[in-house]
Structure formats: C-alpha cells, structure tokens
C-alpha cells in the first residue's frame, strides 16, 4: 500500500469548499472521483485543511493510500486528465512514508488575503481579491497586527458556528505588504479556527479605515466577544499558499 502526498491548486469560486458534502460539488469530492477514474480504486483523501466555500489554494496538500504502483509522473498527469475542465490541478505527487498525514503532520499553514485598494475595482482580479475604495492606513494596520501574534483564546475571532472545542490558537506571524495598489496580508499558524483569518482581516480593515484603534485589539481578544471584532471578510480574497511539514 503506497501513501501518496498531493500538492493541489484550485479556484475555490466554483466549489462548496474542500470537504465532501452530499449533493454539493467540492474539491475533495472531485479529486476522489478522478482517483477512481484513474486507478479504479475508491479512496478517501485526507486534506491538510478544510478550506471554506470560495477560498482558493496554491499549495493545499492531501494524502491517500493506494494499492497500485504508479510513478509520481503518472499520478499527476492521470489525475489532471480525469479532472478535465474542473478548476483543480494536481501540482505535484510524492510517494511518502506510511506515517505521513497531510493534516496532522503539518507544522505551519500560510494563507494570504488580497485587497485591491484603489478607486476602481479590478476586472482581472475580482475573483481573488476584495476591493476597498478608501485608502487604508497601513501603519495602523501593521501596529494592530503585531498584537494578534502569539497564543490567545481567539473566541472573538471565530464564527459563531465554529465547532472547535478549544478556541486557543498560536498565531506565529502576520505580514503586510503593498505592491502598487494591491495589499497582501499573510497569516501563518499550525491551525486556525473556523473563519478566524477572514474575521481578523475584517477587523484589520476596520483599523485601516480608522474605525477601530490598534490598541483596541488586545481588548477585543480579552473580551472573547465576537461582536467586538470586525466583519467577516469575503472568502474570495483568501488563498491557502503553502503548508510546511
């Protein structure tokens, strides 16, 4: 039995998230169909992270077990052939140790949120970014970001229907970069709560619009009150960039 690690890229706009759902088109579901068409083997793939509906990926990882012996080249090309016109592509396949688990072996996940900060929205990037018309104060946003780094109870920054038993997470790093009129927010952690990044982005945008002060961030964290944080930013601006093992 071979353990296969996949690196996957996808446009999440057309899918109901990563995880298989009955009567819904999902990333996991389409890849499992492609594996069956390619190998005749019915299997369940384990994803490193369950990205929400509309969230994209450049470096999602998943693994699955298969009896048949195929080369890594055959797996990549075979699965991509059977994925057809789906907006999902296998970037790499690797035969790994049997103990490898794409979810539990992950050390750091890095997501990027993209904001177009100018008067006019982008025609080419509208599916992959959030348009904000007023100029954002990046210095204030950066000041606020530093207060989010560390180990906290992030109850104020998770969706109300989040099912995680423990709301404590360690945010390893946040970076903000601007290239012309595009702002990139990068978030790195071992794991995140449901919609945590999108709520943090919504809150940082409020800081950039000077509706929330940077010094209020710790008060919001300590309150554990979702109502005090900013709105949930749309899924389309979020991309899972890479996973470190």
All structural domains of the chain: 2-96 (3.30.70.580), 108-244 (3.30.70.660)
At residue 151, does pLDDT exceed 90?
A: yes
Confidence label for 67 from pLDDT (cuts 50, 70 and 90): confident
The per-residue pLDDT for 123 is 94
> What are the φ and ψ backbone dihedral angles of 194, each rounded to 5 degrees?
-60, 120
The per-residue pLDDT for 13 is 94
Confidence label for 69 from pLDDT (cuts 50, 70 and 90): confident
Among 61-75, 77-91, 194-208, 213-227, the minimum mean pLDDT is found in 61-75
Average pLDDT, the chain: 96
Q: Which pairs count as long-range contacts for 71-76, CB under 8 Å and 24+ apart, including other chains?
A: 75/4, 75/6, 75/38
Q: Average pLDDT in the 160-175 region?
A: 94
| Helices within the chain (DSSP H only) | 27-39, 72-83, 138-148, 196-208, 217-223
| CB contact at 8 A, 172 and 188 | yes
Q: For 118-132, how does the pLDDT look when each residue is reduced to its tens digit (9 = 90+)? A: 999 999 999 999 999
Confidence label for 117 from pLDDT (cuts 50, 70 and 90): very high
Pairing, β 130-132 against β 238-244: unpaired
126: left (phi over 0), alpha (psi -120 to 50) or beta: alpha
Confidence label for 225 from pLDDT (cuts 50, 70 and 90): very high
| CB contact at 8 A, 60 and 49 | yes
| CB contact at 8 A, 26 and 18 | yes
DSSP 188: E
| CB contact at 8 A, 31 and 88 | yes
Report d(CA 148, CA 112) in Å as an integer.
16
Hey, how many other C-beta atoms are within 10 angstroms of the C-beta on 234? 16
At residue 68, does pLDDT exceed 90?
A: no
Hey, how many other C-beta atoms are within 10 angstroms of the C-beta on 71? 11
The residues annotated as belonging to the active site are 52
Among 66-75, 111-120, 125-134, 209-218, the minimum mean pLDDT is found in 66-75
């Amino acid at each position: 039995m071979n353990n296969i690690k996949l690196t996957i890229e996808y446009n999440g706009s057309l899918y109901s998230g990563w995880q298989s759902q009955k009567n819904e088109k999902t990333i996991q579901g389409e890849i499992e169909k492609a594996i069956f068409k390619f190998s005749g083997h019915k299997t369940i793939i384990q994803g490193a992270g369950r990205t929400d509906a509309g969230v994209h990926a450049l470096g999602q990882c998943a693994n699955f077990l298969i009896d048949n012996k195929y080369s890594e080249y055959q797996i990549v090309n075979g699965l991509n052939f059977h994925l057809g016109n789906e907006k999902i592509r296998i970037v790499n396949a690797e035969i790994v140790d049997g103990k490898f688990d794409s979810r539990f072996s992950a050390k750091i996940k890095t997501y990027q949120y993209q904001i177009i900060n100018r008067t006019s929205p982008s025609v080419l990037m509208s599916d992959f970014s959030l348009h904000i018309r007023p100029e954002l104060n990046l210095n204030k946003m950066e000041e606020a970001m530093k207060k989010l780094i560390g180990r906290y109870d992030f109850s104020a920054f998770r969706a109300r229907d989040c099912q995680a038993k423990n709301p404590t997470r360690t945010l390893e790093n946040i970076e903000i970069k601007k290239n012309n009129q595009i702002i990139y927010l990068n978030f790195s952690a071992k794991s995140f709560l449901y919609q945590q990044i999108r709520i943090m982005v919504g809150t940082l945008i409020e800081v950039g619009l000077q509706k929330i002060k940077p010094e209020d961030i710790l008060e919001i964290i300590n309150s554990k009150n979702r109502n005090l944080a900013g709105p949930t930013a749309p899924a389309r601006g979020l991309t899972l960039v890479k996973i470190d093992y």
